[in-house]
Structure formats: structure tokens, C-alpha cells
Amino acid sequence: MSEILKCISQKPGCGRHKANCAAIEDLPVAYMELDAEGVVIYANPAAQRMHDPALGELIGQKVWNLLPEAERESSRLAFEALMRLGGEPPVIRRSVYTTVGEYRTYEVHRNLMRDSEGKPSGVRTVSFDVTEAAWANEEAHQARLWLESVLESVSDAVIVMDALGFVRYLNPAAEALSGWTFAELKGMVIEKGLPLLSYYSADSSELSFRIAIDRPSNGVAVLLDRNRNELKAEISTSPIVDKEKGYTIGVVSVLRPAKDCTC
Amino acid sequence: MLLRPASDRIKANPIGLGAISANADRCLTLLIDGAALNMPELDTESYREFRANVSKLSLQTPDRLPEEEKMALIRNVLREFEKYRGGFESELRERAAGWRTLVVSMFRELLANLSMNPSSPVVHPLTQQIARMVTAEEIEGLRGMLEEFLHPGGDGGRNSRLSPLKTADRTTANDNAAGLRGGGAAVEHLARVMEQGRHGFVVLFQLGCLDMICERFGIEAVQDCLMAVSAYLTHTLRRDDAIFHWSDSTLLAIVLDRPTEQILTAELERIASQNRDITINVGGRVVMLRIPLGFELIPIERLTSASDINRLSGHRVVKW
């Protein structure tokens, strides 16, 4: 039986101060105790509220039965290993079906309970609902992956610079065209990496980073690639404007090898 | 008045070992002339006089001179050499002392310009060392000590001084780009803090990429950035912390009553990492820049006087 339950029910044997047990009962986050077999032996009211009664009584359940099918076996094996080997259990994330009718993600902080010989006799857990944070993190990761994949799939060379002209990104087509790898060119001032020898545009305008950050431009440029060979390319540059604040935050250039021209 | 290398004079003169005749008396004459030739010339006047005297004596060594007269003559020659050497050495000592005095007074002038106390425990040994130095090794050692003292950051600082943006500000006015009081006011403020015996830190904030901003957008953009960073620091540090304009790329803060250096470091790291969204206006377009903001801490307890912070050039931040 859980020490907390013993304590609350005034039975002798509780090693804790009664006030501590009462505080655990009042915790706004879920607190549970599991025995060495992974059976829930105590759940405070917050944990009880999390649990859907349709899944049966929480006390007495094997904890991995509360998890989605895909996570059960790996969770059980990890728990058994923890009981066998001891050691400080790491923070984990688990999906649990809750009373709101959906699986939510919990960050579970644990420590071991030990018997009089110091052997692991169970686990105490405190769980925090991190569903929204996990979801936002995953969304951001996926959005970033998506945009990177899009840029990497563009057949034209794309080079992105920050507002000071330091290279922040180039796609594989730009690597192939310039001879630079992303790792090499990242953080380099664009004029150093790809010096501009000459530029021609239909409206006879010039091209410099200062101009590129100010307005879009299209033309044909002669640049020097990584091996300092001349590279003739059609080039389009445009300021990158932050959608929310309207600030200019950099410049994007798109290059493709020029067809024969008289520039 | 420079020492002329003896070898040059030997080359210019036809006298050489090959010219020594078998005649012993003639040989003696040549030996005296040769020895005189090899004496270093400290100043033209005394050297010319010495050469004339020795030449006169050497001409008095005609063939078949009786042996005792020959010895007397040689003694006269030796006395002439001794006299010249004595004068030479005392002149040399006098000149070295004169140079040392000049260096000390120039060093004191430099300290005064840097508002540093010449009697501070850091400075005083240097002045003493200058007054003592005699050997080439001592001079070389002093040169190293001075270099370390004046440019504690090493060579990196020397190169960065070429930047047009690194002008040190030791004024007390607030008419600079940051709108903050200058480094002179920082020294005054620190002196008051030290008098009160308060604990705290001097923090140098170094703004990065300003050279690039200046190159891209002009000095006005740099000034905008400095203004923005100073406003940001004023907003994020505590009210009783004081911030000053230290140079065109460095701000200096005197922060007080932090429990530990570690806690202050964490606070400053947080401030530096959140230094975002600095915007400048370029031809009507608002451009957002992220300016790297580095910092270094110096506990006030480690300073012997408020003017010691003048050693922090702002070109390269010193680790204490």
C-alpha cells in the first residue's frame, strides 16, 4: 500500500509527515506511485481526474496499459530495465488517453522508490501536460523542414543573406553553380564568396548589396565562383520583408546560368 | 653623434694587417694608428681630438729610438687611450640617464592623458624599471612589460585600432551617438562607488559587426545601432546601474550589488541573447539587424583605483 494512503488513512507506518502527504493530495499536477511491477498503487486527485473511468479503476492498473498500443511494449521494457538496473530515471514523454477524450502528451519526471536493502521497489512520477508545447514544436519543425525541402528542390540557385550581407542559406543548385558548399559559404560576406565583376540589366541599373536590400532587381551578372572562374548568370535579387513587422531582414538571390548574351 | 661602425672606417682606410712591415718600429706606429682607428666615435669633436693626439704620438716613434724613450712614448699613448675611454664612458652614462629621464617623463605624460595614477601599485613598478634599466635585456624586458600594460589584449587590439569606429570617449558629456555620458564620467562614477565601498562589476559591452554596418549603411546607421543598444541596455539593466559611452563600438556599465559573478554572467548572457530587433532606417526602408553583443566583467574589487578602467581600451576586452 502506498505510504501516502497509509498516512492519510491514519494507519501507522507512514514515514512522512502528514502535512506532506496532504500537500501531495492537493497538488495541481498528476502524481502517481508505481510498484516494481509497474502497477499504479497511488494516484493523487489530479492524476485521478486525468484518467477516464471507462478504462477501469486507475489504482491497480499496469501503467503501460494507459498508453497507446504503439508505446506499450517499449514502455514496459524500459520500466523493467529500470527496476532491474536502478539508476536515475530520465525525464520521458508519454501519450495518455484522458477524460477530455483524446491522447495528450505528458512530460514525466520520475524517481525510484527503494526498499530497506536499497533495491528499486517502485517509481514515483509527476506528469505535466505539454501537449500544446510539443505540438507547436513539432509544427515548427515540420514547417521548417517543408520550407527547406522546397528550397532544396528549386532547380535554380537560391542564396539567402541577412541584412548585413552574410550568407545564411544556399540550396544544392547554388552549391553546384558556385562551387561553394553551404557549410563553407555560411556566414561569409556575399561579396567575398561570390565577387560581382559586372552587371547588366534592361533598365541599366547597377547592383550592389545596398541596392539589393532596397528594391528587387533582375539582370545578368558576371561573378567569380569558388575556384575564381568567371560565372555568367541571370540573377534576380529581392529584399526579404518580415510579414508581421514589415522590417527588411535580408536579401534573397536566385541565379541561373546565363544563355549567350552580349553583356 | 651616432656611433660609427669601426669596420666602415677600416674599409675606408688603406691601413690593414697586410700593410704591417717587418720593421718593428714601423709596426708599432701602425699598431697605434690601428688601435686608435678601432676606438668608437661618440661625438665628432672629442674623437677628432683623440685621433690627433694619438697621431702626434705615433709620429714620435722614429726608427732606432732608445728602448726607455720608446716605453715612455707607449705609456703616453696608453694614457691617451685611457683618457678617451674614460670620457667616452662617462658621456655614455650621462646620455643613457638622459634618455631614461626622458622616457619616464613621457610615460608620466601618457599616464596623465589616460587619467591614471602614477603611484598606483600597477604603474609604479614600471616607472622604477624604466629608471633602472641598463642592459639590452632589461630594455627588451621593459618593452614587453609596457606593451602588456598598455595593450593587455595583445596584437588583436593593435589591428582593430585601425578601425575608424574605435575612438575612445573619455569625456563626461553625453553628446555622443549613444546619448550616454562618456568614459570620463564612468571614471568619476566608479571613484564614488569605490569610495562608498560598494561591491559591483565593471562590464564592457562590445558591439559586433559595426564595421560592416558602417561599410554597408554609413556611420549614421552605426550611430542608430549604438543608440538602440544603449536604450536596450538602459531598459534591461537595473535603475541604479550606470551605463557610459566608452568608444564608438563599446559601452561600459557599472553594475552594483549582484550576489555573485555567476549570477551577473547569467543575467548578461540573457540580455545579450535577447538583443534582437534592432532596426535602422535605410532610405525609408526599416532594416532589421542582429548585432552580436559580447561582454566582459571586471569585479570592482580587483581595481586599485577608478582610473584603472582606462586600461580597458574597448578595442579588445580584457579578461581579468
From B13-17, B156-160, B209-213, B238-242, the region with the lowest mean pLDDT: B156-160
The beta-carbon neighbor of B212 closest among A164, A213, A245 is: A164
Interface of A with B in 31-70 (CB under 8 A): none
Residue A9 predicted with pLDDT over 70: no
Query: Is this complex scored with an ipTM above 0.95?
Result: no
* Shortest CA gap A192–chain B (Å): 13
Mean pLDDT of A74-82: 94
Q: Which of A123-127, A138-142, A173-177, B249-253 has the lowest mean pLDDT?
A: B249-253
**Contacts with B225 from chain A: Cβ below 8 Å:** none
Q: Check B212 against A239: CB less than 8 A apart.
A: no
Whether residue A12 sits in one domain with residue A98? yes
Any B CB within 8 A of A238 CB = no
Is B153 within the bounds of a domain? no
Over the stretch B191-235, which tens digit does the pLDDT of each residue have? 999 999 888 999 999 888 888 888 888 888 888 888 889 899 999
Shared domain check, B174 and B80? no
Q: Are residues A16 and A130 in the same domain?
A: yes
Residue B137 has pLDDT above 50, yes or no: yes
Choice among A172-176, B144-148, B263-267 with the minimum mean pLDDT: B144-148
* Domain identity same for A128 and A158: no
| pLDDT surpasses 60 at B33 | yes
Residue contact A249–B288, C-beta within 8 A = yes
**Measured between CB atoms, does A164 come within 8 Å of chain B?**
yes
Amino acid at site A186: K
pLDDT over 60 at B44, yes or no: yes
Residue that finishes a domain, picked among B39, B67, B92: B92
| Domain end (from A134, A169, A195) | A134
Cβ neighbours of A163 in B, within 8 Å:
287-289
Condensed to tens digits (0 to 9), the pLDDT of residues B241-256 reads 999 998 888 899 999 9
Considering only the beta carbons, identify the residue of A163, A165, A209 that sits closest to B288: A163
pLDDT in tens, A248-259: 999 999 999 987
**A49 in any annotated domain:** yes
In a domain, A17, yes or no: yes
Domain stop point among A105, A134, A163: A134
Residue % of chain A over a pLDDT of 90 = 66
Residues A216 and A111 in one domain: no
> Over the stretch B18-27, which tens digit does the pLDDT of each residue have?
444 446 667 7
Specify whether A245 is located in the same domain as A161: yes
**A262 assigned to some structural domain:** no
Residues B224 and B303 placed together within one structural domain of the fold: yes
The per-residue pLDDT for A10 is 56
Q: Average pLDDT, stretch B120-148?
A: 78
A145 in a structural domain: no
A163 touches chain B (CB under 8 A): yes
Chain-chain contact of A247 with B288 (C-beta, under 8 angstroms): yes
Domain containing A109 equals: 3-134
Are A124 and A173 within one domain? no
Asked if residue A230 is part of any domain, the answer here is yes
**Nearest by CB to B279, which of A164, A239, A247?**
A247
Has residue A149 been placed in a domain?
no
Q: For residue B216, list chain A residues with Cβ-Cβ distance below 8 A.
A: 164-165, 209-210
Q: What is the pLDDT of residue B106?
A: 86
- Which domain CATH number covers A187? 3.30.450.20
| CA–CA separation, B89 and B84 (whole Å) | 9
* B110 occurs within a structural domain: no
Q: Residue B157 — very low, low, confident or very high, per pLDDT cuts 50/70/90?
A: very low
Please report the pLDDT score of residue A15 as a whole number.
Answer: 55
> What CATH number corresponds to the domain at position B285?
3.30.70.270
Within a domain: residue A127? yes
Range of the domain at B283: 163-311
Question: CA nearest B286 in A: which residue?
Answer: A247
Domain match, A27 and A129 both:
yes
In a domain, B260, yes or no: yes
| Three-class secondary structure of residue A186 per DSSP | coil
Give residue-wise pLDDT tens across range B297-308. 889 988 888 888
Whether residues A54 and A19 fall in one domain = yes
Q: How confident is the model at residue A109 (pLDDT cuts 50, 70, 90)?
A: very high
- Model confidence at B132: pLDDT above 60: yes
| Residues of chain A with C-beta less than 8 angstroms from the C-beta of B279 | 247
B54 with B182, same domain: the answer is no
B147 inside domain: no
Q: Do B170 and B59 belong together in one domain?
A: no
If asked whether residues A23 and A125 sit together in one domain, one would say yes
- Note whether B185 and B307 are same-domain residues: yes
Please report the number of interchain residue pairs, chain A to chain B, with beta-carbon separation below 8 angstroms: 39
Domain count, chain B: 2
Residue B146: the pLDDT is 78
Lowest mean pLDDT among A226-235, B41-50, B237-246: B41-50
What pLDDT shows up at residue B5?
47
* Region A3-30 average pLDDT: 69
Collect all residues with Cβ–Cβ distance below 8 Å to A150 and sequence separation of at least 6: none
Please check whether residues A126 and A183 belong to one and the same domain. Answer: no
Q: Is residue A123 domain-shared with residue A27, that is, in the same domain? A: yes
* Mutation for testing the A interface, residue in B224, B280, B288, B290 having most A CBs under 10 Å: B288
B167 and B307 inside one domain: yes
Is residue B109 assigned to a domain? Answer: no
Same domain assignment for residues B197 and B87: no
For residue A86, being part of any structural domain is answered with yes
Domain end among B59, B92, B125: B92
A245 contacts chain B (CB < 8 A):
yes
Domain end (from B92, B120, B141): B92
Provide the shortest C-alpha distance from residue A214 to chain B (in Å).
7
Output the 3-class SS for chain B.
Answer: CCCCCHHHHHHHCCCCHHHCCCCHHHHHHHHHHHHHHCCCCCCHHHHHHHHHHHHHHHHCCCCCCCHHHHHHHHHHHHHHHHHHHHHHHHHHHHHHHHHHHHHHHHHHHHHHHCCCCCCCCCCHHHHHHHHHCCCHHHHHHHHHHHHHHHCCCCHHHHHHCCCCCCCECCCCCCCCCCCCEEHHHHHHHHHHHHHCCCCEEEEEEEECCHHHHHHHHCHHHHHHHHHHHHHHHHHHCCCCCEEEEEECCEEEEEEECCCCHHHHHHHHHHHHHCCCCEEEEECCEEEEECCCEEEEEEEHHHCCCHHHHHHCCCCCCCCC
Mean pLDDT in residue range A32-46: 94
A3: enclosing H helix or E strand: helix A3-8
**pTM for this model (two decimals):** 0.60
Structural domain count, chain A:
2
- In chain A, DSSP assigns E strands to 30-35, 40-43, 92-97, 103-114, 120-129, 157-162, 167-170, 196-200, 217-224, 230-241, 248-257
Confidence of residue A3 (pLDDT cuts 50, 70, 90): low
Question: Considering chain A, what is the average pLDDT of its residues?
Answer: 89
How close is the nearest chain B Cα to the Cα of A11, in Å?
A: 46
- Domain membership of residue B16 (yes or no) is yes
